[in-house]
Amino acid sequence: MKVMIMFCVYASLYFQCNNGATNLPKDVVVPAVIAFGDSVLDPGNNNYINTVTKANFPPYGKDFIGRKPTGRFGNGKIISDFLAKALGVKEYVPAYLDPSLQDKDLLMGVSFASAGSGYDPLTSTLASVIPLAAQLDMFKDYIEKLKRIVGEEAAKNIITNSVYFISASTNDFLTNYYSYRFRRLQYDLPAYCNKLAEFATSSIQELHKLGARRIIVFSSSTIGCIPFERTVHGGPNRKCVHKYNKAAQVFNDILKEHLQILSSSFPESRIASLDFYNPMISIMKNPRLYGLDVVDEGCCGTRNVEMGYFCNMLTKLCKNDSKFFFWDSLHPSEKGSEILTNLVVPELMKSLFY
């Protein structure tokens, strides 16, 4: 309670403190949401680096405020935005590299995530994006900015009580391990999954050293059911690619074990994986249950392969993107992200507060 009062006193210099979130337990406040990882949580950091992995052009963002393409890989809000709202923090999590950020934006959290990134440093190198290690360096810079804005003690309270999200692994498998032979020559699948979990654990340990205490790591989703992979590797009927989904399951089991061991080393912290695999399976099998019509194609283009620069103003769009789970051939639509978030929030709250 003392932490909540102190935060709101400082925050009131900039904004109206929001402590009325229905998802939070009584007397719990989350001052900020801070995100690391890949496109699931990247609201536009890639706009400001030299990479082809961008989404800062139409029709991306067509359902965002002002129909603005922000760099989010979707038609509107992404999962980080919905999670921030569920935790009672704010409507949108901004990109840390956005030069228009103001002090009030920093107080309530930012995303350091970079679309195309992964746990494996090689993955980020292949895509010319920001690796996790560099994202953590940016977080250190962020902490110093917080201290300048509200002072060292209040900054410490914000860092300690914020919620941290990490999403990676998809690119490690799809654009690294299964696209290039180098890692496959070094590791079989279980060994590579273990290596990824070690990379994740190392990043979490660094976050903990910097003051983070509520850390949630996304599991791998059903990467074999992504439209692009169905088209390229799913055969004439575009079925889910079992090999890729199996890789996700192996990684998820190993990651969970690593996080359980790590959590036992930091009993004053909450460190847990958040299951996205099973909710995705449920959506794929029962789309109508969630108000969806299409779960095997994206809204953009032919719906099977377009993403990034191939999803553009010359590309035909579906008539109603709210009926599509995927926006392009890789990323969820705003509706898809909202549905996924609603499905994982109960587990999230349990992991963080109960």
Q: Which residues are catalytic?
A: 39, 328, 331
Q: Is 131 helix (H, G, I), strand (E, B) or coil?
A: coil
Q: Token pair of 332, please?
A: 């969820």
- Element housing 36 (H / E): strand 33-37
Q: Using CA atoms, how far apart are residues 262 and 163, in angstroms rounded to an integer?
A: 17
Residue 276 DSSP SS3: coil
Between CA 1 and CA 289, with CA 79 as vertex, the angle to 5 degrees is 110
Please tell me the distance from the alpha carbon of residue 264 to that of residue 116, in angstroms, as a whole number. 31
Chain centroid, CA 336 distance in Å: 14
Cα–Cα distance for residue pair 19/11, rounded to 1 Å: 12
Phi, psi for residue 166 in degrees, rounded to 5: -130, 125
In degrees, rounded to 5, the angle at the alpha carbon of residue 73 between the alpha carbons of residues 70 and 74 is: 90
Nearest to 104 by CA among 150, 138, 39: 150
Rounded to the nearest 5 degrees, what angle is found at the Cα of 197, between the Cα atoms of 40 and 307? 25
The two tokens of residue 168 are 């990676």
